[in-house]
Amino acid sequence: MPALSITLQPRPIDASVDHEIQAIVAGVSGAETCNTDLAAGPWNFDIRPGYGPGSSMGDVIPTGSPRQGALPAEYREASEAELDDRIRAAKRTLGERVVILGHFYQREEVVAHADYVGDSFQLANAAKAHPEAEAIVFCGVHFMAETADLLSQPEQAVILPNLAAGCSMADMADIDQVEECWEQLADVYGDMDATDAEGLVPVIPVTYMNSSAAIKGFVGRHGGIVCTSSNARTVLEWAFARGRRVLFFPDQHLGRNTAKAMGVPLEQMPMWNPNKPLGGASATELETARVILWHGFCSVHRRFTVDQIDKARAEHPGVRVIVHPECPMAVVDASDESGSTDYIRRAIEAATEPTTFAIGTEVNLVQRLAAEHPQHEIFCLDPVVCPCSTMYRIHPGYLAWVLEGLVEGEVRNRITVPRDVADPARVALERMLAAKPPAAPAAGWEQAS
Ligand code: SF4
């Protein structure tokens, strides 16, 4: 009798961070999570102030931040399979009346239903490409839904399934603090609209896409521009052609990493802490500044460290380390490459040989990439499973609730940017588009379903 030959197949990787956290809490997985409360439904945190469990749980949420009302019990108590069925049924009924957008950092159980998966700007453009849809359901965070509202048709409703899905980094640049900063800078630099002998104004404000519509509007009113993590360098070049220096917010790390790569010395990048007079900088520092960095950061990307990179290199010789530019400068410097979420995705897709990748960005994207590319070994640099607190507030229960609301003719959780903010915010976005035209739609997007 011939010997029985058994070929062991590698087990497929589960893209679901939700499942991983459930397994950790059940004691089945040996991995670690930053907070076991992540295993509970987000509705357990909607009534409490704060960002909820996850990477932003230590950040202070501004008073008056939007809260989500109670999610009906039928959605809280439904199983994963039941919610999946209900979402699919509602989508079928709604057809082209609705477009569902899913950010790269959303949980797998939500991304499974997205018509488009991408970064915030790609998704805002996807919304723009569907003027026929009555509703755009944005599975992401608040500033992303605002941007989609800015770029979509006035009659289209942009819906955020959980109103508590804000962004701790965007919240770090409050419009009143930014207005106050501008006034203080005017005391140092004089007339902010006056040009010098080279035709440059004293300061050009630049805001990262990850900011409120109010901040984008401020930037638009003051001759400034929006940037993304993909085009930050192009945008800074645009700003330096018009201003002596840049005020960059809210993410100090993206500003510092980008300006440093352009050759701006660190001593010409003072930090602006809105809680201190003159941001905590001296008048001399401000006079010689090229980039004034707002004191903001992303709590997801701040978790990555040089020690994690050293460990990855020691345990995985030949590992390719790619991190997001929202990581601290020392982490970006210690990596092999840094780039936006789309850059990371494309770099992995372009690798023709089996490769080990250590990735410094949000764990939902990393785990999905690992599942999609079993020929590579892909892992998150941070060994602790700690998703973005606010992205994680979107759960299939809320998605089912807003979609079934649309089926019943009710628009729930609409996000609308007031006209006086929207007009200048669009100006700032249009400047960005003119600074670097976007790629053709299909090139940067992932059609998920
Ligand atoms: S990953 Fe960071 S920047 Fe993105 S939504 Fe979460 S806190 Fe905000």
> Could you tell me the residue range of the domain that residue 203 belongs to?
171-296
Q: Tell how far CA 2 is from the center of its chain.
A: 57
At residue 120, the pLDDT reads 86
At a CB cut-off of 8 Å and minimum separation 6, what does 305 contact?
Answer: 331
Q: Output the CA torsion sign for 15, 79, 54, 136.
A: positive
What's the token pair of residue 49?
């102030």
At a CB cut-off of 8 Å and minimum separation 6, what does 35 contact?
Answer: 53, 54, 57, 386
Q: Which of 168-177, 229-238, 331-340, 438-447 has the lowest mean pLDDT?
A: 438-447
Rounded Cα distance between 335 and 331, Å, is 6
Closest C-alpha residue for ligand 1 atom 6:
388
Q: Does 236 reside within a domain?
A: yes
DSSP 61: P
**63 & 130 share domain:** yes
Rounded Cα distance between 206 and 49, Å, is 30
Q: Which residues are annotated as a binding site for iminosuccinate?
A: 103, 120, 208-210, 229, 324-326, 341
Q: Is the CB of 394 under 6 A from ligand 1?
A: no
The backbone torsions φ and ψ at residue 362, rounded to the nearest 5 degrees and listed phi first, read -60, 140
At 88-130, the pLDDT tens digits run: 999 999 999 999 999 999 999 999 999 999 998 899 889 889 9
At residue 443, the pLDDT reads 35
Is residue 223's pLDDT more than 90? Answer: yes
Rounded Cα distance between 350 and 370, Å, is 14
Is residue 8's pLDDT more than 90? Answer: no
For the CA atoms of 278, 279, 281, 283, what is the dihedral angle to 10 degrees?
A: -20
**281 & 409 share domain:** no
Q: Is the CB of 87 under 6 A from ligand 1?
A: no
Rounded Cα distance between 20 and 13, Å, is 11
CATH number of the domain encompassing residue 396: 3.40.50.10800
Q: Is the CB of 168 under 6 A from ligand 1?
A: yes
The residue-averaged pLDDT of 55-68 equals 94
What's the token pair of residue 147?
């941007």
**Which of 51, 60, 105 has the most ligand 1 atoms within 8 A of CB, as the residue to mutate?**
105
For the CA atoms of 116, 399, 36, 323, what is the dihedral angle to 10 degrees?
A: 20
Q: Which residues of 61-84 are buried (b: 16+ CB within 10 A; e: fewer)?
A: beeeeeebeebeeebbebeeeebb
Q: Does 190 reside within a domain?
A: yes
What's this model's pTM, rounded to 2 decimal places? 0.93
Mean pLDDT of the residues in the chain = 94
Closest C-alpha residue for ligand 1 atom 2:
298
DSSP 374: T
Spacing, Cα 138 to ligand 1 middle (Å): 15
**32 & 156 share domain:** yes
Q: Does 5 reside within a domain?
A: no
The residue-averaged pLDDT of 295-318 equals 98
* 159 close to 412: Cβ distance less than 8 angstroms: yes
**239 & 322 share domain:** no
**152 & 28 share domain:** yes
- State the Rg of the chain over Cα: 22
**161 & 45 share domain:** yes
Rounded Cα distance between 335 and 339, Å, is 11
Atom of ligand 1 nearest to the CA of 388: 6
At residue 444, the pLDDT reads 34
Q: Is the CB of 388 under 6 A from ligand 1?
A: yes
At residue 436, the pLDDT reads 57
What's the token pair of residue 141?
């965070």
**236 & 358 share domain:** no
**37 & 157 share domain:** yes
At 230-269, the pLDDT tens digits run: 999 999 999 999 999 999 999 999 999 999 999 999 999 9
Q: Is the CB of 341 under 6 A from ligand 1?
A: no
Number of folded domains in the chain? 3
**349 & 286 share domain:** no
The residue-averaged pLDDT of 392-397 equals 98
**245 & 362 share domain:** no
437 or 121: which leads in pLDDT = 121
List helix spans (H) across 241-328: 252-261, 283-288, 306-315
Instruction: Determine how β-strand 157-159 pairs with β-strand 135-139.
Output: parallel
Q: Is the CB of 298 under 6 A from ligand 1?
A: yes
Q: How many residues does the chain have?
A: 449
Q: Does 188 reside within a domain?
A: yes
Give the three-state DSSP class for 331: helix
Atom of ligand 1 nearest to the CA of 105: 1
Spacing, Cα 360 to ligand 1 middle (Å): 13
At residue 427, the pLDDT reads 97
Spacing, Cα 370 to ligand 1 middle (Å): 21
Rounded Cα distance between 116 and 104, Å, is 10
**DSSP for 215-247, written as a single string:** HHHHHHHTT-EEE-TTTHHHHHHHHHTTEEEEE
What's the token pair of residue 298?
């992303």
**263 & 182 share domain:** yes
Q: Does 6 reside within a domain?
A: no
**176 & 96 share domain:** no
Is residue 439's pLDDT more than 90? Answer: no
Q: Does 132 reside within a domain?
A: yes
Spacing, Cα 251 to ligand 1 middle (Å): 10
At residue 448, the pLDDT reads 33
Residue 9 has a CB neighbour count (10 Å cut-off) of: 6
Q: Does 77 reside within a domain?
A: yes
Q: Does 439 reside within a domain?
A: no
